[in-house]
Amino acid sequence: MSGNFTLSLRFQESWKKSVVYNDSNSGWTDAGNDPAFKGLIYIPINLRFSNFLASVKRCIPTIIVLAALSPIWLVVSAFGQAPSILLQPHWQHVAYGTDVSFTVNAAGAEPLSYQWQKGGFNLGNYNNVAGASTPTLNLVGVAGRDEGVYQVIVANSLGAVTSSVARLTVAPTIAFADDFSAGLVNWHSLLDSTPLTVVSSTNGASGQPGLVSVSNSTQRMYHSLSAKLQGRAQLTFWMYDTGESNTIAYGELRGYSGPMGYGRYATPFALLQALSIGMNCGQTGDIGVRTGEILNPSYYQGCILRGTNVGWFNLDGSNAPLRSPGMHKFVIDRQKSLNIVDFYIDGVLAKRTYGAIQRDLDTVVIGSCGMGENNQLPVSPVSASFQSVEVNAFSPTFDYQSLATSGVIPDWMKLRETGTNSQIDDVTVIPDSELPGSSTNDGMGSWVLDKSGIYAQGPRGYLDYLIRAPTDDAYRIEIEGRERSYQVPLVELPLVFWLDGVYLGQYTLPYSPTNDGVVDCFTPFIRSGTHTLRVLWDSSAPRRSLYVQAVRLQSLFSTYTDAQGMKMWEARRMRAQSGVEYAPSSSLVSPVCIEGRDPYLAMMQLLAGTNNLLSSIAVMPGAGRRWYANVPLSPSTATQVEASFQNGGLKETNLITWQTTDLLQGGSVTIRQGDSLLFNAVPEGATNGTVDISVSGGASFTTDVNTPMPIQFNQSGTFTVTGTYGSSAATGSVNVTVVGVTLPPSVAGLGSRNYWDCTNLVPGVFLDCDPRLEVMQLSAADRSNIDPTLSPLPENGRTYRMRNTRAYESRYMLARLWQNGPILASTAVQGFHWFTPPNASFKVVDGLADGTQVIEGTYILSPVLTNVTVTFQIVTAGVTFDDGTISRTIGASDFDALGIFRARFLRGPNVLGSVCNVTELFDNGIMIATQ
């Protein structure tokens, strides 16, 4: 086919001057001011159809769209131009959990590349990000951490252009709101457990907000939020200011260690944080006034309870409103970076303050503070009136686990938990190896092979799989399976993973009514070779069992690597999980206590020494996936410290010098029992000569100015070390306070009637606890209530209570010389799980001729702790154990290797109740749990 055609070429205007078309039979027609064709030019061309493509190629490199119209139109994108942006991404304010897209429309010579950025950092198709290198950026399930400014760089071989920034903000969710239109509902007196009876309130008429007046005798009241607010959180309320200078009335956001919010005295849990705003010029109780602050009754006040900058302070920022009579709006805004708190009065930022320690917030408190409270205020409080309390929450991450639809927790969620910044990675999951579920290497419990899979019988069991890692790397482990029967409703399938004996975590295997699901977790960096994966399963519902279809080890591919060639995501994750955090370049004390983070201590190694002669140093668990070690220092040369994490995947080296204590400078120092100091007494300019050093108590030494003398202090107490240079008058002394502390063995995870006595925590010693332990100090009265027969503690005794149930790992408490100081001692709190499995909790196993039923109860202690005993007490008349008794105590040897104990009960024929019993767990005689 051949013939003549008239073609019109439609170009985007910006390219028109660069398009070269030499067909002499054609001419340019600029759309010019024709509004219908603005930005277009027409190029009518005549060419033989057979030469059509060749002709077009001659004039333009690429045809994007070909549209034949009448006359024929070629729609082309002109090249040879740097990119430009036609449509900018735009600002968005969306609800939590929304899927968000940013789009850019750009033109320029192809190929165009796109790189989206957040806050100036490149994004990758990772975490909840998709399309990071396309015109449209997708963010799945946005939450607080996704807030920020986004922009895209569009580039081609001729240049690049950056879009304008588009801000993403995520709207808060209302965690709590009460306008008191129904009076006081679910508000409780803060001071004790009695009902809130003396608060007067005015209900709102016709749906109008109510006004709650809190009398001075009532003091404060609290409302428990239904959730722990982890991220940014705001408290807003209206409060009436009478204008009286001695008013003490305010509102608070509080966080307690317990599972829910509580009032101050109605709780067995500790108050971990309180952020306050209002009027307070008289408080001198628990917190007091911030150091250096003088409270001014002309201003409103704020307070932070826990942190580095605590106490009450004036809200006296540059635009802060002064106090005035009337109703005012108060806002506490705990920022996303959680140590920042903003205080607003009537919409004006009255002060921003720093140093608030990060705690989940779970309680709202409002009211006036009275004389009756143990603060014993020096002024008389007055009544306070409140309106419209509201708490807004900004969840830091989107909770994918709440998504019942997919049920799958994506990779980004898990990696984000480790603090990974994975914003420049491009990660693709590729299958590496796969084992059928039936190919278990070992295990325990009763399992049935079924086709290529395996399913469980009984209440629990575990399977071991040998998995082969092809290279040194971090991997993803994926388990595919389901509940065997596919019965509705779906049930939880809780799994616990260990790799080579290292605890990886607890996970839930999702599945649908018709299909398998997968659950995965990430390994630490492991060496190539064979590794043992252990998967523990506990039943969560009667007559349901786990079916394992397959186990897979997967490599995570990444095109991005760091300078050492390690995958970027992996390097970042490892650094987020592991590392040295405190290793000073010099230390007065040897051994120096260094610290860091690492969740896999069994895979960590620490070496120290000099001149490359390094020896192994014991690494001890710290408080919360951390570690510490005491590194002895060389008095003569810097000590080299090499820390290796995750089987050598990450290494850090430090040099630490033992710093000499110059006795001529005087002063004092506090050290741990067993620590050594390096002494000398050298006047300025002295280069030789002898130094005499004596320690109160008798010991004395002679050295020279070039050889500092190490002295170890093995006894607690206060010592004076005196140094004299030669026979001159140059002499000086340093007071050395030596503190010795031992922590007694802790008890395993605790319940409500248990306690842990420390007998020698001298003043100043700081107890640093794994935050997951929920530790609180008990008063002498609390202790006496637990057991009135206990002897009083000695002077330096303290009593604590911890909670560590349902944990499969030990958690630690440390005694520090002072807050953040060197570690004196540590003790482990054993985690355990005590429960009756729903799959086999109680069942009739026999019926006797007289109508008596033999009932078997199944109990699980996981792991079986050798020092724990369990006492059973039957609480129903007519029920006994099968031997006729009503009480029984069992120990570790009574449990099988899976931690299962089975008790048999007799229930008489006329007993209508169940075989109820109380179980109490004791750790070395101290009750740690009751059920």
Partner 1 sequence: MKNVITFLLLGAGTIATAQTVGPTSSATSGSGTRQPETAFSSTVDQSTAISYIVCSKMRPSQRIQLIDSLGNDLGAKDITSLYEFLKRPTGLQGEDPGVLHFIKNEVFTALRHQSTPPVGLTEVFISISQDARQDTATRDYAVQHLVSWYRGGLLDSPSARVRIRAALEKLAESHDCVAGTALLGLHHLAPLEPAIHTKDLQRIALAMVRSKDSNSASMTTAIQVCAEEHIKEAVPAMEIWARKQGQTTLQRAAISALGMLGGSKEVALLRDLGRSDPLLKAVADQALRRLEHPVASRQSF
Q: Which 782-841 positions form the footprint of partner 1 (CB under 8 A)?
A: 785, 788, 835-841
Please write down the HEC assignment for all residues of 473-530: ECEEEEEEEEECCCCCCCCCCEEEEEECCEEEEEEECCCCCCCCEEEEEECCCECCEE
**β-strand pairing of 427-436 with 129-130:** unpaired
Q: Cβ of residue 251: shortest distance to partner 1, in angstroms?
A: 19
| Choice from 63, 100, 160, 260 touching partner 1 (CB under 8 A) | 260
452 is a site residue for partner 1 (CB under 8 A): no
- Cβ–Cβ under 8 Å, residues 155 and 107: no
Question: What's the CA gap between 394 and 143, in Å, rounded?
Answer: 7
Would residue 499 be called left, alpha or beta, if left means φ above 0 and alpha means ψ between -120 and 50 degrees?
beta
Contact status: 699 vs partner 1 (CB under 8 A): no
Cα 670 to its chain centre, rounded Å, is 33
Taking alpha carbons only, the member of 839, 4, 92 closest to residue 484 is 839
Task: Give the sheet arrangement for strand 811-816, strand by strand.
Answer: 766-769, 811-816, 823-829
For residues 130 and 541, which CB has a smaller minimum distance to partner 1 in the complex?
A: 541
**Helix (H) / strand (E) containing 557:** strand 546-558
Between CA 8 and CA 74 the distance in angstroms is 6
Measuring CA to CA, how many Å separate 817 from each of 666, 675, 765? Answer: 21, 12, 5
Number of Cβ within a 10 Å radius of residue 903: 21
Q: 């994108």: which residue's tokens?
A: 77
Nearer to partner 1, 247 or 545 (CB): 545
Q: Give the amino acid at 687.
A: T
Give the one residue of 842, 863, 867, 904 binding partner 1; rule: CB under 8 A: 842
Of the candidate spans 94-102, 278-286, 607-615, 845-853, the one that interacts with partner 1 by CB under 8 A turns out to be: 845-853
Nearer to partner 1, 447 or 569 (CB): 447
- When asked if residue 712 is in the footprint of partner 1 (CB under 8 A), the reply is no
- Give whichever of 86 and 845 is closer to partner 1, judged by the CB atom: 845
Task: Tell me: does residue 188 bind partner 1 (CB under 8 A).
Answer: yes
Single out the segment in contact with partner 1 by CB under 8 A; choices: 673-681, 730-738, 824-832, 852-860.
852-860
Beta carbon nearer to partner 1, 446 or 634: 446
Nearest Cα to 657, choosing from 720, 592, 605?
592
DSSP, collapsed to helix, strand or coil, labels residue 327 as: strand
Query: Applying CB under 8 A, which of residues 532, 644, 759, 852 lies at the interface with partner 1?
Result: 852
Cβ-based neighbour number of residue 458 at 10 Å? 17
Q: How far apart are CA 550 and CA 544, in angstroms?
A: 19
Q: Which of residues 4-63 bind partner 1 (CB under 8 A)?
A: none
Q: Which 867-926 positions form the footprint of partner 1 (CB under 8 A)?
A: 871, 873-880, 882-891, 894, 896-898, 900, 906-908, 910-918
- Minimum CB separation from partner 1 for residue 791, in Å? 17
Task: Quote the least distance from Cβ 262 to partner 1, whole Å.
Answer: 6
Residue 12 backbone phi and psi in degrees, to 5: -70, 140
Task: Considering the complex, state which of residue 113 and residue 540 has its C-beta at the smaller distance from partner 1.
Answer: 540
The stretch near partner 1 (CB under 8 A) out of 88-96, 212-220, 658-666, 847-855 is 847-855
* Spatial contact of 432 and 467, defined as CB atoms under 8 Å apart: no
Identify which of residues 442 and 562 has a Cβ nearer to partner 1 in the complex: 442
Site residues for partner 1, window 489-528 (CB under 8 A)?
Answer: 489, 491-492
Least distance to partner 1, CB of residue 493, Å? 11
Part in contact with partner 1 (CB under 8 A); list of ranges 68-76, 98-106, 156-164, 180-188: 180-188
Query: With binding defined as CB under 8 A, does residue 266 bind partner 1?
Result: yes
Q: Does 350 bind partner 1 (CB under 8 A)?
A: no
Binding of partner 1 by 689 (CB under 8 A) = no
In whole angstroms, the minimum distance from the beta carbon of 784 to partner 1 comes to 13
Among 25, 46, 50, 193, binds partner 1 (CB under 8 A): 193
Pairwise CA distance, residues 255 & 264, whole Å? 11
Report 109-168 residues binding partner 1 (CB under 8 A). none
Q: Across 585-708, where does the E strand assignment appear?
A: 586-587, 589-590, 592-597, 605-610, 613-616, 620-621, 626-631, 639-645, 650-658, 660-662, 668-672, 676-680, 690-695, 700-704
Q: How many CB atoms lie within 10 A of CB 668?
A: 11
Site map 387..406 versus partner 1, x via CB under 8 A: -----------------x--
Q: CA-to-CA distance for 366 and 219, rounded, in angstroms? A: 9
Integer Cα distance of 604 and 748 in angstroms: 26
Residue 644 sits at φ, ψ, to 5 deg, of -120, 125
* Among 113, 457, 696, 731, interactor with partner 1 by CB under 8 A: 457
Verify binding: residue 217, partner 1, rule CB under 8 A. Answer: no
Residue 533 and residue 481 in contact, taking contact as beta carbons nearer than 8 Å: no
Is 853 a binder of partner 1 (CB under 8 A)? yes
Site residues (CB under 8 A) for partner 1, limited to 541-570: 541-543
The stretch among 537-545, 567-575, 761-769, 819-827 that binds partner 1 (CB under 8 A) is 537-545
Pick between residue 343 and residue 462 the one whose CB is nearest to partner 1.
462
Q: How far is the CB of 477 from partner 1 (least distance, A)?
A: 21
Residue 266 vs 348, nearer CB to partner 1: 266
C-beta closer to partner 1: residue 56 or 364:
364
Q: Beta 660-662 vs 676-680: how paired, if at all?
A: parallel
- Specify the DSSP element, H or E, that contains 575: helix 568-577
Separation CA 793–CA 358 (nearest Å):
32
Could you say which of 85, 130, 348, 444 contacts partner 1 (CB under 8 A)? 444
Please say which residue, 3 or 195, places its beta carbon nearer to partner 1: 195
Q: How far apart are the first and last CA of the chain?
A: 90
Task: Please pick, from the candidates 238, 447, 713, 755, the single residue that binds partner 1 as defined by CB under 8 A.
Answer: 447
Q: Which is nearer to partner 1, 579 or 751 (CB)?
A: 751
Q: Which residues contact 498 (CB under 8 A, 6 or more apart)?
A: 504, 533, 534, 536
**What residues between 462 and 491 interact with partner 1 by CB under 8 A?**
489, 491
The answer to the question of residue 97 lying near partner 1 (CB under 8 A) is no
Using CB under 8 A, which of the segments 56-64, 391-399, 436-444, 811-819 binds partner 1?
436-444
Q: Give the interface size with partner 1 as a residue count (CB under 8 A).
A: 92
Is 865 a binding residue for partner 1 by CB under 8 A? The answer is: no
Is 537 a residue that touches partner 1 (CB under 8 A)? no
CB of 709 to partner 1, least distance (A): 58
Q: Is there a contact between 249 and 381 (Cβ–Cβ < 8 Å)?
A: yes
Q: Rounded to an integer, what distance in angstroms lies between the CA atom of residue 781 and that of residue 790?
A: 11
Task: Quickly count helices (H) and strands (E) in the chain.
Answer: 4, 74
In sequence order, which ranges of 745-802 are alpha helices (DSSP H)?
Answer: 780-786
Q: Which is nearer to partner 1, 254 or 416 (CB)?
A: 254
Output the CA–CA distances (angstroms, integers) from residue 188 to 224, 266, 768, in the order listed. Answer: 9, 10, 32
In the complex, the smallest distance separating the C-beta of residue 171 from partner 1, rounded to whole angstroms, is: 21
Cβ distance to partner 1 smaller for residue 66 or 449: 449
Q: Closer to partner 1 at the Cβ: 130 or 890? A: 890
Pick 561 or 852: Cβ nearer partner 1: 852
The piece of 122-130, 169-177, 263-271, 771-779 that touches partner 1 (CB under 8 A) is: 263-271
* Residue list 743-782, contact with partner 1 (CB under 8 A): 752-753
Phi-psi region of 899 (alpha: psi -120 to 50; beta: other; left: phi over 0): left
138 vs 873, beta carbon nearer partner 1: 873
Question: What secondary structure does DSSP assign to 470-483, as a single string?
Answer: SSSB-EEEEEEEEE
Cis peptide bond N-terminal to 909, omega within 30: no
**Which lies closer to partner 1 via its Cβ, residue 339 or residue 540?**
540
